[in-house]
Copies of this chain bind each other. A is one copy, B any other.
Amino acid sequence: MPPLNLDKQVSPNRPSSLPHVVILGGGFAGLAAGKALAKYPVKITLIDKENHHLFQPLLYQVATAGLSAADIAQPLRLIFSGQSNLTTLMDEVVDFDLDASKVHLRSKTLSYDYMVIALGVTTGYFGNQQWAQFAPGLKTLDEATELRRRVLTAFERAELANDSNEASQWLTFVVVGGGPTGVELAGAIAELAQHVMAKDFRHIDSTKAEVHLIEAGPRLLSAFPKGQSSYAHKRLTKMGVRVHLNEPVKSVSADEVTLSQSAISSGTILWAAGVEGNSVANNLGQVPRDRAGRLEVNPDLKLPNFDNVFVAGDLAKMSDFKGKQVPCLAPAATQMGRHAAKQIARDLAGRQLKPFIYFDKGNMATIGRSSAVANYRKISINGYFAWVAWLGVHLVFLMGMRNRISVFLNWAWSYLAWRQGARIITKKLIGRSDGINATSSN
């Protein structure tokens, strides 16, 4: 067969003489950078190895069977469908040549006039990468699906268990890390066991499951005011979660977490304790990094010594002019992405660059049904109203009307019916040599 004629009839309105801006990563920072450049005479290429933008703040709900993957993800291509100066490529960054202003992807090499590195962070194990297999983190949709598989399968294994020791191990869940993700995961697993699954088993009593939340520091939610930490602590305890403070993890194996004085035997260990810079950024060469591999950037978000490279989002480590660390939060990433884009526009116009100033929009975390903590500047609210605010804010910032409607209905359903909409176990390994065709409908 002759090859098809696939070229667009209408040649895209992007003469190659326009400056080329390459954005690496389609998270909150990359997305904001791409959008902020919509009206400028530049040619933009946005690279992500996934085909979607992910709304990470709701990822724990996919991991705990409340939402489906598609509810919190939006194809990048669809988001930028109407922005003709931007091309999306689903590809992976392999290496950099900053001196030649080139970035190597798996399929091709791109030259850029400006680059925004917004590759984000991944789960960090403080140098103990071997723990990852036993205690997966929660940064991508695939990891969320894996966590969901592990949590739901644990209850099934407990029901199948031939002795009570084994059942007990499968009904013990450990969440490491007392930040917002850890608090949210622990609360959601406790609710699954206490309510959603309570009537579904014959051999085990799911309400007797134990959920342990392990925090190395002296309090949960260390980024929040102290009163909110103790509110979350009290609330989780009431929901049946056992909170361990001042307990750094000594080691993790397939079925045990060892702390300083004790060990917890558990079939399901989840990691929400640390982050580290995307490892691709290690290929950037001699640039300043902190211990977690995050890139230390100039006040205007430039990578030191490179005039055409900006870093935005979680991968950028910086303190603003008041000396306050910019946190790893979606609003901060969005602000940084937009700032980097605007500096590119200023530079093209021959104007001086401005330093990035972080506008603190506050912080919120949900603990469980009808319970959350939220703060904005000096105002802190706990409980039902914080929870309603949490729901509202997350619905508003979620991308796409279809996803908003779907998430809203799933939440309403869970609230009214005490059920979770996505209690489906999917496989760890699919296709090819898995023999899936041999036994698929047993």
Contacts and interface: CB of A to CB of B under 8 A. Distances in A.
Interface of A: 1, 3-9, 12, 24-25, 27, 47-52, 68-71, 73, 75, 77-78, 81-82, 87-93, 107-108, 119-123, 129, 132-133, 136-137, 139-143, 145-146, 152-153, 156, 158-160, 162, 164-165, 167-168, 171-172, 197, 199-205, 208, 210, 264-265, 278-280, 314, 402, 405-406, 409-410, 413, 417, 419, 421-433, 436-442
Given A402-B421, A413-B402, A441 B5 contact: no
A406 to B, nearest CB: 7
A273 B442 CA distance: 20
Given A108-B162, A164-B3, A402-B413, A132 B199 contact: no
Contacts of A280: 439, 442
Tally of this chain's copies? 2
Contacts of A197: 77
B107 A75 contact: no
Nearest to A409: B405
Given A1-B265, A6-B167, A6-B208, A417 B439 contact: no
Contacts of A432: 133
A432 B137 CA distance: 11
Contacts of A1: 264-265
A421 to B, nearest CB: 6
B77 A201 contact: yes
A422 to B, nearest CB: 4
A120 to B, nearest CB: 3
Contacts of A164: 3-7
Contact of A140 (B81, B419, B436): B436
Contacts of A429: 429-430
B167 A442 contact: no
Contacts of A441: 25, 27, 119-122, 139-140, 278, 314
A205 B9 contact: yes
A440 to B, nearest CB: 5
Contacts of A25: 441-442
A172 B402 contact: no
Contacts of A24: 442
Given A119-B442, A160-B91, A442-B119, A424 B5 contact: no
A5 B408 CA distance: 38
B162 A81 contact: no
Contacts of A152: 51
B69 A426 contact: yes
